[in-house]
Amino acid sequence: MIVSLFISTPAICCSAYSAKTSVCLDWKTESALMSSVYGGSTINIAASSAVDSSQGCFMKPPNFSRGLRARITDGGRERMQDFRSSEVYDLSTFQTHLGSRAWALQEKMLPPRTTHFGDRGAFQECRTNVASEYLPDGFPKQLVSPLVRRKGKFEWLWHQLVPLYSAANLTFGKDKLPALSGVARLGFNETGDQYLAGMWRRQIEEQLCWRRWRPKTTLKRPPWRAPSWSWASIDGRVSWRSVEQSSSLENAYAHALDASTTLYGHDPFGQVSSGVVCLACSIVATGFLVSSKTPNNSEGEAGAIVVLRTGNEEQEFPIQKDCLDDFDEENKVPVHLVPILGGTTGMGTYPEVGEVIDELVIQGVVLRGTSVTKGEFSRIGSFNFYKDKMSGIAPEEGDVEFYEPFLKVLKEHGTAAAEAACAEIISNSEHPQERYVIIIV
């Protein structure tokens, strides 16, 4: 019997890269083969806890145990019972040193089975079961990541994969897209969808609404590696709401007319040199950035406040910035809040038995003009304004509601602001309200 075997350690992943031109060219070719290399293997062996090649696989302390199965008596009847921590699977696979490396995520997803060796013992993952040396008969299905036990549509997995991947570490920032190319190729093979710098054409509207996981970890913008509308353009964990899976956000305020990227090399799932999204929108809110050290909502950190005019007054609206150095309040450059999706979130509150109040949201992107041509913008942030927000969900976002005030701004000035900002006005029978075309690069 021939067994295809691949071993993953952080040292192997990192040492494979060199800054020398000839090796870089070879690495571009080899990294494009990740899907077939790992996907074509029989088993992947992961030294999950090793920080370098000197530590190896077998790091479990003597007499260490992370679970057991025992026969117990319950109510006069004997039965078998597993004793384990509910976090043991994540701690032994995803939350390991190897699991913190971005390259390792696709090395985990692509093989049909992976055996993890680490300081918590050995774990075996495959498409149908996850087991450990302590519990060889397996773990309950609900504890196992759907990224490993993939049975649903690939589109549903992308919004779960990207938060994990974007939170992981890369030695070289320009590997942001290449380190995900193997999984992206798998997605293309399953769906046939167009891949756009970490995003997918069929879901481009909801994925444009990506946002930082925690605003307080906002970092400086790294050297260019993806268009500003892509989450791959920044460092740090991002997420977005899956419309299809939650059956939510039924109101569309904009749709993508076209989206494309220019490849840096030959790999259609690797590095890009440019990218553009042409968005047809119906309404826009235009305002100015101001400094604020005491925002009404912690989504708006100091400096992440936009002043919009409503009636004869001005009101501050908190936005979430993508990067620290994208904001300059002193120049008084206008910024544009472009709503993309809105409606119910699939959650709600229950004040009385039989009564439900749906949570509502309107979300979109914050843009700034590029000064290259009228109607061309770069993304600098995002916004989410709620009504009847479900308490206990995302507590860092505070309780002040901006949903109704923002809708008032859009009703009063949204159409005029969209016309003033757009590159062109079109007529579209399918989307008659979404006439104002803006270009995001």
Q: Report mean pLDDT in 10-residue bins for the chain, 441 residues.
A: 49 46 57 75 84 75 63 76 68 78 83 84 82 78 66 74 91 94 91 96 96 74 97 95 74 96 94 97 94 51 76 91 78 90 82 74 96 96 89 50 95 96 90 93 98
Judged by DSSP in three states, 54 sits in coil
pLDDT at 245: 59
Backbone angles phi and psi of 65, in degrees to 5: -140, 135
What pTM was estimated for this model as a whole? 0.82
pLDDT at 307: 94
pLDDT at 38: 79
pLDDT at 77: 82
pLDDT at 199: 98
Buried/exposed 279-306: b ≥16 CB within 10 Å, e otherwise: bbbbbbbbbbbeebeebbbbbbbebbbb
CB 236 within 8 A of CB 156: no
Element (H, E) at 104: helix 102-109
Contacts of 302 (CB under 8 A, 6+ apart): 291, 292, 293, 295
Q: Which residue do the tokens 């790294």 mark?
A: 222
What tens digit of pLDDT does each residue of 79-105 get? 766 666 666 777 777 778 887 888 888
First-to-last CA distance in the chain? 52
**DSSP label at 370?**
-
pLDDT at 153: 64
Tokens for 391, please give them.
């308490």
CB 327 within 8 A of CB 300: no
pLDDT at 82: 65
